Chain A
């Protein structure tokens, strides 16, 4: 592949205020349902995030569209199968495929989740919770290092939604993530919806969670919808972003300054134009952030 799209918007107020973080603007998750709309409508989206595994195929339509969309928009690669926290050895075939795709896509960055997906060679295809222990920190840190060495680039690691916490926890989730980031040198993909879901399910303070993370390492934000069952909340990505998450997003940007942001939608997928409109709200919140004022950037 060639003719990779170059990141635009390097001279916006957000770009000037983003500091050490690279600024790529406001993106969407690229979904099969929208392949044709992206090419036909040229939507006002700054970049797209692809699910890496969806393009680990030999050819046909997925690769055809990837090639063309990549020529117009910067792409980030987001994986769901790295299983960074698994006690199984890495799947070397998967890592090779990932590296090959990185070579072909030349993404703005590569991310996966702070979780494990399988054990004993069996894949749950879910993002399963880790115990917040020193043992897990050591394990995950060394595995992130292995992947970063293999890919020759730093990973972004995303906080996931969890529904169970473990009795042997030695710290809270934010401390666990922060320590892994500190030791491994990786960046953070902060899923604001997952912070909200976690705060509801586990009873922690969402703002304190964000405040506890190393701000300069937060390179990307995910926004998404969830299903609220009253007593608990499930991260389903089948609804628009809810009010409470928008508010948390706004407070997060006040704290962090501009962070490259995207909306994830994986189910009950509406027309692309609806998601572009929803993304407009993120843009408005971003450009209204006080941290865009030079005086606040020191």
Chain B
């Protein structure tokens, strides 16, 4: 007689559409075991498809039924769930799209998927208090070069080489999406505001460099200005950097600011 682990292994293989479950291991009840097993197989595939569709409503719309079904079948086969919550089942979708034809021939598709996943992460990222510009004003001049920023946990930076976000926007508004083409902006910034509304906007190459330096590389103000001076005239950099910083504080992106060179940190 089969043991529990063998039964579970064979049953799951059947549910996933692989090796069939031995019919002699089933008891014949009122419902034929073929029908009973099919109920589980159908439920498995449709539950995972529904999870993907919940996460990627506009990607599904963009691809149309045939390609969407192809994506679902291919992804479910390639990445069976190893997570406890369906919330994370689709986490490899952008990467899978970037590596599998015909989707990989159109990079806007993977980037549209990546944008939808960033929105999901923004939605339920950790909470944190935010600070306003007065925190910066409290630093004395000597402390400014050493200022480092901690961003709100919901802040995400997505590099975009295509107009995937414009496609997303059009689909969201119920309009026909623009033709896929190279992006006019290098990245998008996404975050959740104080009212828990998810927001996003394009960033230019100057702001992108500032964001990468402050956010991804955790550099201080002096280093950021040094980097900006490589792509902009040095005399313009202080005002440029100040303008960018002020906007971040006003948008609620900053959770704290501290300086290496001063006790006056928050």
Contacts and interface: CB of A to CB of B under 8 A. Distances in A.
A201 B30 CA distance: 6
Interface in B103-127: 122-127
A91 B84 contact: yes
A244 to B, nearest CB: 16
A100 interface: no
Interface in B17-60: 24-27, 29-31, 33, 35-37, 39-40, 43-44, 47-48, 51
Contacts of A283: none
A130 B3 CA distance: 11
Nearest to B82: A121
Interface string A102-127: 00000000000000101111111110
Q: Interface centre among B9, B30, B33, B47, by most A CB within 10 Å?
A: B30
Interface in B228-245: none
A209 interface: no
B40 A128 contact: yes
A128 B81 contact: no
Nearest to B8: A119
Q: Interface centre among A116, A124, A203, by most B CB within 10 Å?
A: A124
Contact of B39 (A91, A133, A136, A232): A232
A85 to B, nearest CB: 8
B12 A124 contact: yes
Interface residues of A, number: 50
Contacts of B84: 53, 56, 81, 91, 93-94, 123
A169 interface: yes
A163 B24 contact: no
Contact of B125 (A60, A129, A133): A60
Contact of A164 (B36, B126, B153): B36
Contact of A58 (B16, B80, B125): B125
A168 interface: yes
Given A116-B8, A131-B4, A163-B40, A123 B81 contact: yes
Contacts of A91: 84
B24 to A, nearest CB: 6
Contacts of B31: 163-164, 201-202, 231-232
A92 to B, nearest CB: 11
Interface stretch (A9-17, A61-69, A249-257, A287-295): A61-69
Contact of A125 (B25, B26, B27, B48): B48
A139 interface: yes
Nearest to A79: B84
A61 B124 contact: yes
B7 interface: yes
Contacts of A81: 84-85
A234 interface: yes
Interface residues of B, number: 50
Interface in B175-232: 192, 196
Q: Interface centre among B1, B4, B15, B86, by most A CB within 10 Å?
A: B4
Interface string B128-166: 100000000000000000000000011000000000000
A268 interface: no
Interface in A120-163: 120-126, 128-131, 133, 135-136, 139, 163
B83 interface: yes
Contacts of A131: 4, 7
B1 A168 contact: yes
A121 B82 CA distance: 6
Interface in B59-87: 80-87
Interface string A38-63: 00000000000000011011111111
Contacts of A58: 124-127, 153
Contacts of B263: none
A165 interface: yes
A54 B88 CA distance: 11
Given A57-B87, A232-B35, A166 B8 contact: no
B8 A87 contact: yes
B115 to A, nearest CB: 18
Nearest to A133: B4
A126 B44 contact: yes
B173 interface: no
B81 A125 contact: yes
Contact of A62 (B1, B2, B3, B124): B124
9 contacts: A59-B153, A118-B12, A119-B8, A122-B16, A126-B43, A164-B36, A166-B26, A167-B26, A200-B30
| A-B pairs, 5 with minimum CB distance | A59-B127, A58-B126, A87-B5, A164-B36, A57-B124
Given A163-B36, A165-B29, 10 more contacts: A60-B196, A63-B127, A64-B127, A87-B8, A123-B82, A124-B81, A128-B8, A164-B36, A165-B27, A167-B26
